[in-house]
C-alpha cells in the first residue's frame, strides 16, 4: 500500500517541469492580453438591450476563452501522445492517478490562455457591466425614478440615458466595475496559490534530483530539436531520390546536393519503429540506468512500458 501511495504521489511532479514551460506559459499569457485588448477595442459592442446584454456579456468572456482552451489542448503534444497511446496500446499501462494527472497536465497548460483572457476581461469590467447592468435593483440606487426599470438600466453601458439618470448610471458602472475587478483579482490569487502549491508538491514528490531533472529537460529539448531537424533532412533526401527515379533527374540547389551526397538514405523506418517511439512516456530505469524518452528506450532495446524484473519503473511522466 505504501508503495502504491508513493507511486501515485510521484505523478504530482507532472506540472511545470521545466523553465521552458514557464516561459511558454508567459508568452501565451502576454499574447492573450494583447488579443483581449484588441478585441475590446475592435469587436466588443454591448447591445444595451434587456435579455441580450447578459448573453452578449457572458459570450464575450466565455466564447473566446473556450476557443483558446481548445486551441491549447490541440497544441499540446501530450494530447496527441495520449491519443496515440490509447490507439496503439490502450491505457493498461497507466493507473488511475497517471491518467488523472496526464489529463490534468493537458488541461492545466491549455487553461493558461483562457484564464488570462477571463482575468483581463474582468479587470477591464466592460463585459461584466454589460452583462449585469439590467439586474441592478433600482431600489439600491439613490434617487432613482420609480418609472424607470430594466430597459433603462440595460442602456447604462452605452451611456444612452436621460440626463437625470447620469448620476445613477455612474453609480451602477462604478459598482459593477468594482465587482468585476474584485472577481478578477480573486481569480489571480486563486491561480497563484494553485501554481505555488503545485510547484511545492512537484519538488517534494519528484523521484529525481534537481540536477537530474534539469538534465532530463535538456535532453528532451535537444532530442526533439535533433529529431525534427534530422527528420526534415531525411524526408528531403528521400523525396529527392523518389523524384529522381520518376523523372530521371531531380533539380537540387547547392545545399540540397551536399545533403544528398553527405547523408545517404537507403530506406524508410518501418511502422513498428515509429509506433515504439510515439506515445506517452513514463520515466523508467533499466538496471539502475535512466531511460529519458521512448526513443532512448527503443535505442537501448528495452521492450514494453511496464516494470520488468530487469527494470524499475518510477512512473514519472515526461512533460
User: Are 91 and 99 a contacting pair, CB within 8 Å?
Assistant: yes
Contacts with 311 (C-beta within 8 Å, 6 or more apart), sequence order? 284, 285, 286, 287, 302
Query: 104 falls in which pLDDT band (50, 70, 90)?
Result: confident
Which among 249, 319, 312 has a CA at the least distance from the CA of 281? 319
**Tens of pLDDT, residues 211-234:** 888 898 899 999 999 999 999 999
The alpha carbon of 150 is separated from its chain's Cα centroid by a whole number of angstroms, namely 40
User: Are 154 and 48 a contacting pair, CB within 8 Å?
Assistant: yes
d(CA 157, CA 171): 12
pTM of the predicted model over 0.95: no
Residue 186: count other Cβ atoms within 10 Å of its Cβ. 12
- Strand-pairing partners, residue 308, are 311
**Tens of pLDDT, residues 283-319:** 778 888 889 988 999 998 886 554 443 333 444 454 4
d(CA 83, CA 85): 5
19 has a pLDDT exceeding 50: no
d(CA 129, CA 281): 47
- Which ranges in 89-165 belong to alpha helices (H)? 96-110, 112-124, 126-132, 150-153
User: Are 48 and 129 a contacting pair, CB within 8 Å?
Assistant: no
**Tens of pLDDT, residues 93-102:** 666 666 777 7
**Tens of pLDDT, residues 235-246:** 999 999 999 999
User: Are 208 and 316 a contacting pair, CB within 8 Å?
Assistant: yes
d(CA 129, CA 135): 10
d(CA 16, CA 20): 9
Cell of 115: 484564464
Higher pLDDT, 30 or 181: 181
Amino acid at each position: 500500500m505504501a508503495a502504491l501511495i508513493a507511486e501515485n504521489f510521484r505523478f504530482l511532479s507532472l506540472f511545470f517541469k521545466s523553465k521552458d514551460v514557464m516561459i511558454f506559459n508567459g508568452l501565451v499569457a502576454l499574447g492573450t492580453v494583447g488579443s483581449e485588448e484588441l478585441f475590446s477595442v475592435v469587436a466588443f459592442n454591448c447591445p444595451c438591450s434587456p435579455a441580450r446584454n447578459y448573453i452578449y456579456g457572458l459570450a464575450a468572456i466565455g466564447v473566446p476563452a473556450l476557443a483558446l482552451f481548445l486551441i491549447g489542448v490541440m497544441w499540446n503534444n501530450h494530447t496527441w501522445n495520449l491519443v496515440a497511446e490509447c490507439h496503439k496500446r490502450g491505457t493498461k499501462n497507466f493507473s488511475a492517478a497517471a491518467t488523472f494527472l496526464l489529463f490534468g497536465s493537458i488541461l492545466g497548460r491549455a487553461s493558461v490562455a483562457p484564464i488570462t483572457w477571463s482575468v483581463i476581461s474582468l479587470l477591464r469590467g466592460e463585459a461584466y457591466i454589460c452583462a449585469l447592468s439590467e439586474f441592478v435593483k433600482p431600489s439600491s440606487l439613490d434617487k432613482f425614478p420609480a418609472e424607470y426599470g430594466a430597459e433603462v438600466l440595460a442602456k447604462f453601458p452605452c451611456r444612452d440615458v436621460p440626463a437625470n439618470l447620469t448620476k445613477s448610471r455612474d453609480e451602477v458602472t462604478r459598482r459593477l466595475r468594482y465587482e468585476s475587478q474584485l472577481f478578477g483579482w480573486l481569480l489571480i490569487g486563486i491561480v497563484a496559490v494553485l501554481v505555488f502549491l503545485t510547484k511545492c508538491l512537484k519538488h517534494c514528490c519528484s523521484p529525481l534530483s534537481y540536477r537530474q531533472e534539469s538534465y532530463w529537460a535538456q535532453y528532451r529539448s535537444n532530442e526533439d530539436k535533433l529529431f525534427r531537424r534530422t527528420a526534415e533532412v531525411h524526408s528531403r533526401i528521400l523525396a529527392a531520390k523518389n523524384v529522381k527515379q520518376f523523372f530521371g533527374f531531380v533539380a537540387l540547389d547547392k545545399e540540397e546536393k551536399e545533403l544528398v551526397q553527405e547523408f545517404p538514405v537507403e530506406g524508410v523506418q518501418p511502422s513498428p519503429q515509429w509506433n515504439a517511439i510515439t506515445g506517452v512516456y513514463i520515466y523508467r530505469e533499466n538496471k539502475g540506468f535512466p531511460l529519458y524518452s521512448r526513443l532512448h528506450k527503443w535505442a537501448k532495446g528495452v521492450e514494453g512500458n511496464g516494470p520488468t524484473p530487469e527494470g524499475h519503473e518510477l512512473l514519472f511522466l515526461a512533460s
